[in-house]
Amino acid sequence: MSKSEQVRPLWALQGVLTLLFLMLMLPACAVTEIRTAAQEASEPKYIAILNPQSKIAIGGMCVDILRAIEKVDPELRFIGDQVWQPRARIDAALKTGNIDVICGVQRIARNTSQYQFAATPLFSVNYLLAVRADDTVAVGDWDDIRKLGNDGIILTLRGFGIVDILTQMGGLKIDDTATSSISNLKKLLAGRGRFYCHRSPGIGLAIRQAGLEDKIRLLSKPQLTEKFYMGMAKTMSPELVNKIGASLVLLERNGELKRIFERYQE
């Protein structure tokens, strides 16, 4: 072997080492942490799950969507989705700058005044009415409920968008003092309301978890269909808003948003 042939492997090794050194010296891609929270009583947006270590974790549609966004854009990282907070506290935290996004909100006036929205809907839901199984009430539209007067009280959850929607419809008797589905289901059985209006998927799961399948039934009419979006603080930078929006466009086009939603059908 000639002297030049002996030297060539050494130069090649030095080249590889130099390249590795330069790669290590390059700055890593900056990761932006985006603060959020798990909204209480919002199943299946957020649900309590038992992980293999027998510890309670938080999963659900929104957690799956946040992880999917991180997968398509590794420069984004959502934090806080393992901490429960009521909707009112989430709104307050956003106003004070302690939360950046809320997953799954409607384009109603109360929300548009607080958030900017990604253009791509995350999912659509139907709002259904639950009644006691022994209640023979038959309604075909919202006018039928209006005619019931005080015998047609609709139970809803405090701070949820459906309260605004039903209020805007006018003439409906609404009780939005409860903060959980189990509370409203108990009130329904106690006769402290004629209907419980909640979204599906969600309301069927709440009934099953309460073990009330034989005591409560769902009406087929009337229904409301609503789209839910990613709400972002109005102070969020346009660059970050665009990155989240672009990720959601990709997830919608490749069918991942649909697949996530279908995993939580009742």
Q: Are residues 145 and 182 in the same domain?
A: yes
Q: Are residues 137 and 205 in the same domain?
A: yes
Q: Are residues 162 and 91 in the same domain?
A: no
Provide block-wise average pLDDT over 10 residues at a time, the chain (266 residues). 49 49 54 97 93 84 98 98 95 95 96 95 98 96 98 96 96 97 98 97 95 97 97 96 98 98 92
Q: Are residues 177 and 100 in the same domain?
A: no
Please give the tally of structural domains in the chain. Answer: 2
Asked whether residue 13 is domain-assigned, the answer is: no
Asked whether residue 145 is domain-assigned, the answer is: yes
Q: Give pLDDT, residue 56.
A: 85
Q: Are residues 71 and 147 in the same domain?
A: no
The CATH number of whichever domain residue 48 belongs to comes to 3.40.190.10
Asked whether residue 24 is domain-assigned, the answer is: no
Q: pTM surpassing 0.75?
A: yes
Q: Give pLDDT, residue 21.
A: 52
Q: Give pLDDT, residue 107.
A: 96
Q: Are residues 117 and 238 in the same domain?
A: yes
Q: What share of the chain is helix, strand, coil (3-state, %, to 5)?
A: 40, 25, 35
Domain that holds residue 150: 125-225
CA distance 93 to 148: 39
- By C-alpha distance, which of 237, 240, 255, 228 is closest to 161? 228
Asked whether residue 191 is domain-assigned, the answer is: yes
Q: Are residues 233 and 208 in the same domain?
A: no
Q: Give pLDDT, residue 204.
A: 95
Q: Give pLDDT, residue 28.
A: 54
Q: Give pLDDT, residue 19.
A: 44
